[in-house]
Chains A and B, each alone.
Chain A
Amino acid sequence: GEDVEQSLFLSVREGDSSVINCTYTDSSSTYLYWYKQEPGAGLQLLTYIFSNMDMKQDQRLTVLLNKKDKHLSLRIADTQTGDSAIYFCAESSRIDAGNMLTFGGGTRLMVKP
């Protein structure tokens, strides 16, 4: 089946940039997503990118997609302590009118003051 892989942990200092990486195996992926999960909460959609795009920027977030290498990254500029959370990469496969996401295991971002 399809696989989505992420490193487990990332630690950065407040004000630095964070880069969270993700690799996937399904070459037919149409959309790729980044979700954020804070402790005790559900998943919050951060951003998504179409598979025909290389880059998408949204305020402090930059998503880079290398479709050839099946590599997705999320860069958070000027990382704040409030960015500490688990970040999930996901890729989608359409089924009928719905959407089926395959998630990575999540990367825990710790931001040190």
Chain B
Amino acid sequence: ETGVTQTPRHLVMGMTNKKSLKCEQHLGHNAMYWYKQSAKKPLELMFVYSLEERVENNSVPSRFSPECPNSSHLFLHLHTLQPEDSALYLCASSQGGGAGNTIYFGEGSWLTVV
């Protein structure tokens, strides 16, 4: 149990579907992240929210839409995805200002786009 919970753990969706990934952190942190892990690339940062405001967006395609309604919850809304978007999506959180701002990861959501 890492304190960061992701649902669903596995998701299969068609290219025309709309789905969402959910993340919840129970650590009292004030920053949350989405990372993408695919077979051919190192872990990539997608979005960062600090104090519920988006701080960083590494030019991720608009078919990925994040939402952070409060400091404990983070969503990744998915629509009209491509097969190359199939990957493990990892949510993480950290506490700003703390030593090392150590990032804690969830177990990930395995996404397959068919």
A29 to chain B, nearest CB (A): 12
Q: Which residues of B contact A94 (CB under 8 A)?
A: 101
Contact-residue size bin, chain A (C-beta under 8 Å from the other chain): 20 to 34
**C-alpha spacing A103/B103, complex, angstroms:** 12
- CB pair A98–B107 under 8 Å, yes or no, is no
Q: How far is the CB of B30 from chain A (nearest CB, A)?
A: 6
Is B50's CB under 8 angstroms from A103's CB? no
Main SS class of interface, A: strand
The stretch that binds A, out of B11-19, B40-48, B59-67, B74-82, is B40-48
Q: Given A95-B48, A98-B31 in contact, is the A42-B94 Cβ separation under 8 Å?
A: no
Q: A44-B2, A103-B43, A105-B42 are in contact. Are A97 and B104 (CB under 8 A)?
A: no
Contact A98 B42 (CB under 8 A): no
Contacts of B97 in A (CB 8 A): 97
Least distance between A55 CB and chain B CB atoms (Å): 16
Which of B's residues lie within 8 Å of A, judged by CB?
2, 6, 30-31, 33, 42-43, 45, 48-51, 55-56, 90, 92, 94, 96-97, 100-108
Can you show 10 pairs from A to B with CB atoms below 8 A apart?
A33-B103, A42-B6, A42-B106, A88-B43, A96-B96, A97-B30, A97-B51, A98-B55, A98-B101, A105-B42
